[in-house]
Chains A and B, each alone.
Chain A
């Protein structure tokens, strides 16, 4: 897998590069700001871009804007956005851009190297990965039109959260220590309660859930 990284803090950038190289991932370019990222993508045609939200010059949301622009220029590119904090507003913007091949994770998730590598592969393959903190905020009880979420059982909410994180049925079954068949049942029930059209494809399913939540 060919990867470009946009991160302005050298400490983190170098740590990330070291981890990826140890795991046979080809870091083809490193950038320190939004325009640098877009140039690196144009020059190296990577499979995945890993982007920090806060980049120079204003250190606000350049990373989000650069990610959206990068996806507009090369729709097949996977973009994994890393941030010190997560905002559902940013998640919605990234998903609004199309959803497939988008990841949005807290920076500290890189510490769990295996899960991080797994997330990278899923995003590069066109999957969607959202941080569980964003998901839990999206699932927080709300009044009004969100009443349907209240109808879900505790177990169904867990399944929904794991789905939103972009996990496959098998991964959800492993995480909850149940059989894949049980997960399938929960999913059918969730889709029924939320009135969403059922579909087999993992990623389209995630997108349906995210579209509902945001």
Chain B
């Protein structure tokens, strides 16, 4: 293609000469095409000259037929090679080359037999076994070469199907797990916690009735305190499983509340207001929570910021600060986060040059 463009350029510079001497080039043909067209004309010319010489020389044995065969074979080789070369590279092209060679050889054999038969009067069809041998060898070669290819293709297809199946089932497992956690959190609220609240209520009523017996009232009061502790523990447990604001209002609201609680002057910027898959939402939340905890503990930062957005069907979460940097990308906290993110086919990147702050970037596919 390049060749053609360059040549056409040259032609346009020397337009007059090109038109006169190289009509094929002027028409935009490549050098190869041009050479073939010249060759074809020369071959036809040679064939005509030979038959004229034969006619003038008194005819007799049609010897120019052998020259025609030679010319034809040259052109046949050229087109067969061209045909084979246009196949896709690899086993298919190799097989095509073999068949092109077999085709050319067969044509030579058949033409030779035909000419000897016609011109010299041979009687039996001697190329049979040669043709049979050629075609058998071609078939054997094709089978071996393409068999590998078929096997590899089948293997790849099976592998791809397995990857798709694993991706799908892992996704389903994670979603099921997130839904299950949400159910446990709700059960804690509506089950055990609600019963404990009802218990403190009953204890409160009892306490009021025995107000004149300080000893009993004291015992009831202690029992109530224990119940309150149990409620607080259940609440902390439920919050650790799924923070209520995350379940109720989604990621942005939960992260804003989280940032306010850390009191780092953290700014939160979010362009995501749709409901995300529970597994993605939880992972994003816990990544941000862990990152802010690390900032508060180690970074000595003046400011920190969180940004949440979507790009190319992925949730992009960035948590940055202007602290001392130097966070260890192999540290246990980061490794835990990375495992959580990678379980969702996501990526985690940590930039923390010493003295220049820290940036944690996580992308989580959320197109599902």
Contacts and interface: CB of A to CB of B under 8 A. Distances in A.
Interface stretch (A136-144, A156-164, A173-181): A136-144
Interface in A80-114: 84-85, 87-89, 107-108, 110-114
Contacts of B264: 142-143
Nearest to A18: B205
Interface in B241-268: 244-245, 247-249, 253, 256-257, 260-261, 263-265
A12 interface: yes
B210 to A, nearest CB: 13
Given A9-B194, A19-B204, A108 B263 contact: no
A89 B263 contact: no
A108 B231 contact: yes
Interface stretch (A36-44, A54-62, A124-132, A199-207): A54-62
Interface string B187-202: 0011001111110111
A89 B253 contact: yes
Interface in B73-99: none
Contacts of A89: 245, 249, 253, 256-257
Interface residues of A, number: 33
B198 A113 contact: no
Given A22-B205, A111-B227, A11 B248 contact: no
A144 B302 CA distance: 9
Given A9-B190, A11-B198, A137-B261, 20 more contacts: A15-B201, A18-B205, A19-B201, A19-B205, A54-B189, A61-B248, A84-B193, A84-B238, A85-B239, A87-B245, A88-B260, A88-B261, A89-B253, A108-B231, A111-B203, A113-B205, A141-B263, A143-B302, A143-B303, A144-B265
Interface of B: 186, 189-190, 193-198, 200-205, 207-208, 224, 227-228, 231, 235, 238-239, 244-245, 247-249, 253, 256-257, 260-261, 263-265, 302-303
